[in-house]
Amino acid sequence: MSLQSEMQTQGNFLFRNRSYLPLIFLLTGLSVYLLGKYNEIEISEKFNDEYFEFLCLGICFIGLFIRIHIVGHTPPNTSGRNTKAGQVADELNTTGLYSIVRHPLYVGNFFMWLGIAMLTENFWFTIAFVLLYVIYYERIMYAEEQFLIGKFGNEYTDWSKITPAFIPNFKLYKKPRYSFNLKKIIKKEKNGLVAIFALFWLFKWAGDALKNGITYFELSGWFYAAITTGILYFILKVMKKQKMLD
């Protein structure tokens, strides 16, 4: 198999499983965090501060807001969670954030995961995450672009010549072609909000449990945030199932 074909095959595999493979990163990050707490590494003590947790949360929110802006302004059957169906694109997105970068959703994902990586309080794990993210999504972006070239031809290649792949060029910004669709956001991006607060609470609880025993439980702000967003998620899930958001 040629390197080009191998890259595309790997990219398609990672694309189809991109909702599950990050769990490996999550488990590894949690293990690194707990190891740092157990060994009381000096750098861990420096990062053990509520302000740092809110910094991580802010970075996650940057990624979430990027995704919200993108998905809210895109037409149906584009920029979706097409895990089972594979690549889907009824038309080419070239306005809004797509006018400044070819893969803005993956830029959003990067910030969401970067906030979690930093939450481990381990500098080298965060650096490793950045490098692995580049390798991981490079293959997904390659496979996605091969699909788009095959479907849109010159329309895509002409746009890609002036639009960077991952680092935005804000000078190229064009107003979104479609108006903001709040219902689409509620249906598609509710997962991200609850996941952020659930992970922050998980790290908080795991660190406290390691220090005070597995049965230790504190009704922290992260716990209430996770419960609140979790309840909101299930309400919206029921509304979606009952077609109240169509």
**pLDDT by residue for the chain (246 residues), tens digit each?**
555 666 667 666 766 766 677 788 888 888 888 888 777 644 444 445 678 889 999 999 999 999 999 998 887 666 544 444 556 666 788 888 999 999 999 999 999 999 999 999 889 999 999 999 998 888 888 888 888 888 888 888 898 899 998 899 999 999 988 888 888 888 888 888 999 999 999 998 888 888 777 776 778 888 999 999 999 989 888 877 877 767
Do 239 and 141 share a structural domain?
Answer: no
Do 130 and 102 share a structural domain?
Answer: yes
Do 223 and 135 share a structural domain?
Answer: no
Residue 86 gets the label, from left (phi > 0), alpha (psi -120 to 50) or beta, of left
Write down which residue in 129, 157, 180 finishes a domain: 180
For residue 34, how far is the Cα from the chain centroid? Answer: 23
Which residue range(s) make up the domain with 154?
3-180
pTM summary value = 0.84
> For the chain, what is the domain count?
2
Do 73 and 16 share a structural domain?
Answer: yes
- The pair of structure tokens assigned to 52 is 């740092």
Do 211 and 237 share a structural domain?
Answer: yes
Do 127 and 195 share a structural domain?
Answer: no
Write down which residue in 161, 180, 199 finishes a domain: 180
pLDDT of residue 116: 94
Write down which residue in 131, 148, 180 finishes a domain: 180
Cα–Cα distance between 117 and 199 in angstroms, integer? 11
Do 20 and 85 share a structural domain?
Answer: yes
CB within 8 Å of 193: residues ≥ 6 apart: 64, 229, 232, 233
Do 204 and 146 share a structural domain?
Answer: no
Do 145 and 88 share a structural domain?
Answer: yes
- The pair of structure tokens assigned to 202 is 């998980």
Do 138 and 48 share a structural domain?
Answer: yes
Residue length of the chain: 246
pLDDT of residue 230: 92
Do 123 and 152 share a structural domain?
Answer: yes
Looking up residue 94, the CATH number of its domain turns out to be 1.20.120.1630
Contact 197, 226 (CB under 8 A): yes
Q: What is the DSSP string of the chain?
A: --HHHHHHHHHHHHHHTTTTTHHHHHHHHHHHHHHHHHHT-HHHHHH-SHHHHHHHHHHHHHHHHHHHHHHHTSPTTSSS--TTT----SS---SBGGGT-S-HHHHHHHHHHHHHHHHT--HHHHHHHHHHHHHHHHHHHHHHHHHHHHHHTHHHHHHHHHS-SSS--GGG-B--SS---HHHHHHHSHHHHHHHHHHHHHHHHHHHHHHH-TT-----HHHHHHHHHHHHHHHHHHHHHTTTT-
